[in-house]
Amino acid sequence: MERRSHRAGSSRVRRKGPGSGAPKGGPRSKARARPRVPRRQRTLPPWLTLIGSILFLVLCFGFVFFVARGCVAAQESTQVRKYVTSADSTLSDSANAGREELQAAVAGGLEDPASLNPEALGRVEDESQKYYLDALRNEEVPPEFEGVHHYMVSALGIRATATEELARATENDPEGFGEALSAAVGDFKLSDALVSNHYVPGSERALTSSGRQSEQAYLYEPEPFMDYEALGLSSGQEGAATPGDPNAVHGLEIYGVEVAGKALLPGGDVVLTGSDEPVFSVAVTNGGEVAETGVPVEVVLNTRAERQARSAEIGRIDPGATVAVEVSGFRPGELDESAAVSVEVGTVEYEQNADNNVLSGTVTFGI
């Protein structure tokens, strides 16, 4: 008898895989074949993009502007310091040539004119000429110093001319050395006055007005071209004429006028702009043989609204010296108005020529 055993679970049931029983191309295949629709990307509104671009450009331009401005300011500061230190070096070298080489040669000549050293005088002459030409040909004068640089040039030019004339006179006529020296010393003192009374104060004002007060530490400290006292030429009071002597030469003249630090030439015009104030600096030179005291200076400014007259007084001006006085208190005129200006220095007793005691010009009040 045949037995058949049926074990539970012996039979295996095959499960149909997905789609195994479905024909190809059925509904599921069609569902999978459908293309996916891409999602729409979110973008900024055009107006917001435009504003952002404009702000970015403004920031870029602002950055470039401030960087360029800083570079220009640094370049100007370097130019000012270079000029100030160069001027200090030139004036110091000029003073050293006078106080050392010329001083020694003059001292020996005063004791014995025959012992004069023409070579020493020639060296001082050449050096003085060099310093003068260096200042005259300087083309890197900052705008702040354009109104005062000419004082330095004039002072060095006077020294160059005086040393040249002294050297020529000594070479041609050694016996006339004393007379030639007296004339040269008068010129040297005038050059000292130009530096100490005009160039240095004007340079200080230029640095202050441009906000560079720190550069004043590099300014030249004035010293006489020669030690006149050591040579017995400091005062010349012995045998000199007295202020009331009618036989002595008396003569004052206007050496220069500045308005707000700008030079006013005879018949010229000065334009005041920005924060410029109508403040006048009047330099007076004593070309006579005696000291003059109580010298009056008057400035008249004729605007459309009124005639304004202001005055000041110079206490004392020694022979050959130049002294400056400030005259202020004027009210500005109208915009774009050109006002006539008259500057007059009072004549002193026994003065023969008063034509150079007056200077006229105009002042224009700009923006």
List helix spans (H) across 195-257.
200-209
Q: Which two tokens stand for residue 335?
A: 């915009």
Please say if the pLDDT value at position 44 is more than 90.
no
Q: What's the pTM value of the predicted model, to 2 decimals?
A: 0.50
Residue-wise burial string across 289-303, b where 16 or more C-beta atoms lie within 10 A, e elsewhere: bbbbeebebbbbbbb
Under 8 Å between Cβ of 337 and 243: no
110-159 per-position pLDDT tens digit = 777 777 778 888 899 999 999 999 999 988 898 888 888 998 999 999 99
| Residue found by looking up tokens 């060099």 in the block | 130
Quick one: DSSP state of residue 98? I
Q: What local confidence, expressed as pLDDT, does residue 90 receive?
A: 92
Residues 6 or more apart whose CB falls under 8 angstroms from that of 222 comprise: 192, 195, 196, 200
Q: Which two tokens stand for residue 119?
A: 């070579």
Please say if the pLDDT value at position 340 is more than 60.
yes
Nearest of 164, 162, 182, 184 to residue 172 by alpha carbon? 164
| Residue found by looking up tokens 């009040």 in the block | 365
On the 0-12 / 13-18 / 19+ scale of CB atoms within 10 A, 62 is: exposed
Q: What local confidence, expressed as pLDDT, does residue 46 receive?
A: 78
Percentage of the chain modeled with pLDDT above 70 = 80
168-212 per-position pLDDT tens digit = 887 887 777 778 888 888 888 888 888 887 888 888 888 887 787
Radius of gyration of the chain (CA): 43
Calculate mean pLDDT across residues 212-226: 82
Calculate mean pLDDT across residues 62-74: 58
Q: What local confidence, expressed as pLDDT, does residue 357 receive?
A: 92
Q: What local confidence, expressed as pLDDT, does residue 26 receive?
A: 52
Length of the chain: 367
Complete DSSP assignment for 191-241 = HHHHIIIIIHHHHHHHHHHTT-GGGGGGS-----SS-TTTTT-S---TTPP
Question: What percent of the residues of the chain are helix, what percent strand, and what percent coil, each to the nearest 5?
Answer: 45, 20, 35
Q: What local confidence, expressed as pLDDT, does residue 42 receive?
A: 64
DSSP-derived pairing of the beta strands 262-263 and 280-286? unpaired
Residues 6 or more apart whose CB falls under 8 angstroms from that of 49 comprise: none
Task: Give how far the C-alpha of residue 284 lies from the chain's centroid of Cα atoms, to the nearest Å.
Answer: 23
Report the alpha-carbon distance of residue 245 to residue 183 in Å, rounded: 21
Nearest of 128, 121, 126 to residue 157 by alpha carbon? 128
Q: What local confidence, expressed as pLDDT, does residue 10 receive?
A: 47
The strand ranges marked E within the chain are 252-259, 262-263, 269-272, 280-286, 292-302, 307-317, 322-327, 337-345, 358-365
233-263 per-position pLDDT tens digit = 654 444 445 555 666 778 899 999 999 989 9
Q: What local confidence, expressed as pLDDT, does residue 160 receive?
A: 93
